[in-house]
Amino acid sequence: MRAIAVDDEPLALEVIQRFAEKVPQLELVGVFQNPVEAVQFIGQHPVDLLFLDIQMPDLSGLQLLQSLSYKPLVIFTTAYSQYALNSYDWDAVDYLLKPVLFDRFLKAVNKAFSLFHAQESLEARRDKEDAEPQGSKDYLFVKSDTRFFKVNHADILFIEGMRDYIAVHTPKQRILTLMSMTQMLKKLPSGDFMRVHKSYIVGLKHITLIQNNRIYIGDKEIPISNSYKDLFLKFLEEMNE
């Protein structure tokens, strides 16, 4: 498991580096006093685990996490116990209070290992399922940060493109995932879903009204762009035959 440590205190980084050398399965590939440099490194060299101080000058640990396009597993390291609640808001693996002791460090790393291997197993299973022919399954797993949500095809109302992310809307939740609209469309049964705009894929069975180049799914109004209008109208004609 590849990891980096980010802390503005050199002594804290030395402690993490020394402890990491005692754990064979953990590869500490970088230590950073400057959080901006850490962000640049992660952008070029994705890591699995992040040891992260919260209170740092210029860029706090929480701001660093917000800046990342994907979220690695996180173990917070800080001298301030009042930040413990923040760690739960960010789904942190653990929260280490300085000065960090090795037994406590090892416990946190083992928790990270367990989550990491669980994610790998789930990703492998998801890839295998996604490779199955359409129609052989009626659901997919949607990854959001470190979690995987099982979503039934029948529950997907519509999918909304949001720059690098897409949002999968169901009656109960909205799930953000790092994926393109084209990638998502390939995972869905073509007879049940259709792209009607560069930013929208709709669940056809959930359409309640079509009017003036607009699709309505419940209270949600979705535009039909000129690029997809002819294909959508052809679909309507075939449905009415």
Instruction: Using alpha carbons, select from 51, 2, 52, 50 the residue that is nearest to residue 26.
Output: 2
pLDDT of residue 23: 95
Same domain, 36 and 117: yes
Burial (CB < 10 A; 0-12, 13-18, 19+), residue 176, is middle
- Report the distance separating Cα 125 and Cα 185, nearest Å: 19
pLDDT of residue 86: 54
Tell the residue number behind the tokens 């999918």, with chain if given: 159
Contact 156, 170 (CB under 8 A): yes
Same domain, 146 and 98: no
Same domain, 117 and 210: no
Confidence of residue 155 (pLDDT cuts 50, 70, 90): very high
Domain boundary among 57, 92, 125: 125
Tell the residue number behind the tokens 């996604």, with chain if given: 130
Residues constituting the chain? 241
pTM (predicted TM-score): 0.55
> Does 32 score more than 60 pLDDT?
yes
- What stretch of H or E contains 200? strand 200-203
pLDDT of residue 195: 92
Instruction: Provide the β-strand partners of residue 166.
Output: 161, 177
Three-state DSSP at 133 gives coil
Asked if the structure places residue 97 within a domain, the reply is yes
CB-based contacts of 7, cutoff 8 Å, min separation 6? 13, 16, 31, 32, 33, 51, 52, 53, 56, 77
Same domain, 103 and 40: yes
Asked if the structure places residue 83 within a domain, the reply is yes
pLDDT of residue 147: 86
How many structural domains comprise the chain? Answer: 2
Q: Residue 101 is part of which domain span?
A: 2-125
> Is the backbone peptide bond immediately before 99 cis, with ω within 30 degrees of 0?
yes
Tell me the one-letter amino acid at 20: A
> Does 162 score more than 90 pLDDT?
no
Instruction: Using alpha carbons, select from 44, 75, 43, 45 the residue that is nearest to residue 61.
Output: 75
pLDDT of residue 81: 64
> Does 127 score more than 80 pLDDT?
no
**For position 197, which CATH number holds?**
2.40.50.1020
> Does 225 score more than 80 pLDDT?
yes
Q: Are strands 220-223 and 214-217 parallel, antiparallel or unpaired?
A: antiparallel
Q: What is the mean pLDDT of residues 33-44?
A: 89
> Does 135 score more than 70 pLDDT?
no
pLDDT of residue 165: 87
Tell the residue number behind the tokens 């070029």, with chain if given: 44
Asked if the structure places residue 177 within a domain, the reply is yes
Domain boundary among 99, 125, 151: 125
**Residue ranges in 144-225 assigned as alpha helix (H):** 181-187
* pLDDT 10s digits, 2-19: 999 999 999 999 999 999
How does the average pLDDT of the chain come out, rounded? Answer: 86
- Report the distance separating Cα 169 and Cα 65, nearest Å: 24
> Does 164 score more than 60 pLDDT?
yes
Same domain, 104 and 76: yes
